[in-house]
Each structure stands twice: as C-alpha cells, then as structure tokens.
Amino acid sequence: MATECGQERVAPPPSDEGRKKAHAAAERVAKRFGVRFCYSQDISSWKKDSARTLFILDVRTREEFERSHVAGSRHAPGGQLVQAADEFVGVRNARVVLVDPDLVRAIMTASWLVQMGWNDVYVLEDPELVESGPRRPRIPGSPPWQTATSIPDGAAVLDLSTSLRFHHAHIPGAWWGVRSRLKQAQEKIAAQTVVLTSEDGVLAHLAAPEAARLFAKVVVLEGGNAAWKGAWESGVERATTTRDDVWYKPYDHSSDYLKHARDYLEWEVALVDQIKRDPTIRFRAFS
C-alpha cells in the first residue's frame, strides 16, 4: 500500500446521528474523568485574579476559530494541545478554559489534560463568540517597535523563530538566530539595517530594543512570518549560533535517521522510570 503526503483533505462535518453519538460519548467521558465546567461570569472573575494566570484556548479548527471566537482566546487545536501543551500554556498550575460551542472536542481534550495531572481545567458552557479573524498577538511591556511591511534594499533579515521552523521555511536570504545570543548574530551579519522577524512578530518586537544596541538600525517585519506574502526557502545555511534551541525528533534530522530513532526509543523506554523520579509529575489513573 502506497503512502501519501502533502494532502489537504479534511473530514466532512458529522451527520446528525454522528453528532448525537458524539455528545453521548462526551457525557460519559466527562463523568468518568471528572471534567469540570465553567461559565462566562467565571472567566470575568478569573481575569481579575492577579495571583493566577488564565488561558482561554479554542480547541476547534483554525477556520472555525477565525470565523468567530471568544474575546481574548487563542487557537489551540485539541490534539496539539494534549501532545504539546508547553507550546500553548507557559505557566504551571494556571487556569485553563477550553472552548468549543459543541462541547465535544473541549470535553475530550479536558479529559486527557485531567489524566495528565492538570488541576484547573474547565470547559466553557456558554461561549460568547464575539470576535472574528486571526488572533492579534499581544506585545507586553514596551510599545511595539517600528515596523516594515517589506525588506528594505541592503537590509538583512534575522529570524528568531525556532531553528526547526526556520529549517522548514523562511524568508529567502534570512539569517537564523536566538534572542539571547544576538551578539553572535552581530558578529556574522554585516548589514547596517536589520529586519527582525519571528513566527507572529511578537518575539521580534521584544528583541528589538536589545538588537538596537548592536545594529545601526533595527525594524520589525509587520506581522512576522505569518504575514509574509513573498517566496520561501528552506535549510539552515545561515545560522548565527548553535542549533540547540529546541529538541529534534528523529525524523527532524536530515542525516543518520536510524541512530536518532534508536536514541529516541531508548529515551522513551526509560521515560517511565524518569517520571517516577520527578516529584513534579503526577499522572492520574482512572478505572
């Protein structure tokens, strides 16, 4: 049987009968794993609690999210949230509210997070979908830096995305760097003007004041890579520092795949004992 790649097919919407079965299954799952629910008034109250961080995560598809979503929420597809929670929730013991007007996907996602030991996960019962379009990233602290919608002649592009994302796709001619190692970037980039970019532009804005102490002129690409409309290229030929910023899966390596696969399997087999030694990890068992 041949395998496929690069396909863009999506599953059709569930039938009425399928939806009924999904709701029935979700009710059983919610009861079995003690999934908790909340309301919009709870969110209003939690937003005022300066002692706790609140994450409002919409677990539907991006198309559904951009069509309409809860104000201040972020798109976090349920399967990705469970598999890579650290990419969406950066504060331990934060409150997490999951949004899906149909409830099914939110309940299923919450059930897994509960089993993973998360204490304050809630499913929103009465979502008010008052916003539309892509989420505009917040840039905390200082005001946004000066931006540019195109690359000025003679300027160098410094991309602060992860090395893995940069490897897959970046602006042609861009350099890759790490915010905490901008000095190394300065040693390799000769251009007087540097255009900083990142996945959504937020990290580039945060790094701009630091880069301005090293380069003659610094601007930030408006909207970051997410807003770039031009061509792309791949590879990491222009890295300004060591590519040790993220952990690479075996299939992320371009060479010696078998060795990396074996290393991964050894790590995975030893994971159970590693978890036992870590007092901060507590998975919950349910009958």
pLDDT one-digit tens code per residue, 202-247: 999 999 999 999 999 999 999 999 999 999 999 999 999 999 998 8
Residue 113, by phi and psi: left (phi above 0), alpha (psi -120 to 50) or beta? alpha
Which amino acid, residue 186?
Q
Read off the pLDDT of residues 44-101 as tens digits, 9 standing for 90 and up. 999 999 999 999 999 999 999 999 999 999 999 999 999 999 889 989 889 999 999 9
**Domain assignment of residue 215, given as a range:** 137-259
| Lowest-pLDDT choice from 88-92, 250-254, 256-260 | 250-254
Q: What is the CATH number of the domain that holds 228?
A: 3.40.250.10
Which has the closest alpha carbon to 69: 38, 99, 97, 107?
Answer: 99
Residues 119 and 169 in one domain: no
Residues 66 and 149 in one domain: no
Entry field: residues in the chain: 287
Count of beta carbons in the 10 Å neighbourhood of residue 79: 13
Task: Check residues 179 and 265 and name the one with the higher pLDDT.
Answer: 179
Residues 67 and 169 in one domain: no
Tell me if 144 is assigned to some domain.
yes
Residues 59 and 141 in one domain: no
Residues 64 and 98 in one domain: yes
Q: What percent of the chain has pLDDT over 90?
A: 72
Local confidence band at 8 (pLDDT 50, 70, 90 cut-offs) = confident
Cα-based angle 198, 203, 208 (whole degrees, multiple of 5): 100
* 40, two tokens: 């919009």
The predicted pLDDT at position 149 comes to 93
| CA 279, 280, 281, 283 torsion-angle sign | positive
* Domains in the chain, number: 2
Residues 94 and 188 in one domain: no
Residues 76 and 125 in one domain: yes
Cα separation, 287 vs 281, in Å, equals 20
Where among 101, 131, 161 does a domain terminate?
131
Cα separation, 184 vs 178, in Å, equals 9
The predicted pLDDT at position 279 comes to 81
* Residue 55 bridge partners (DSSP): 96
Tell me if 3 is assigned to some domain.
no
Tell me if 93 is assigned to some domain.
yes
Residues 52 and 115 in one domain: yes
What average pLDDT is seen over the chain? 92
Residues 146 and 94 in one domain: no
Where among 131, 157, 192 does a domain terminate?
131
Tell me if 169 is assigned to some domain.
yes
Where among 88, 114, 131 does a domain terminate?
131
Residues 59 and 158 in one domain: no
Q: At what angle do helices 16-33 and 104-115 cross, to 10 degrees?
A: 30
Residues 114 and 89 in one domain: yes
Residues 72 and 153 in one domain: no
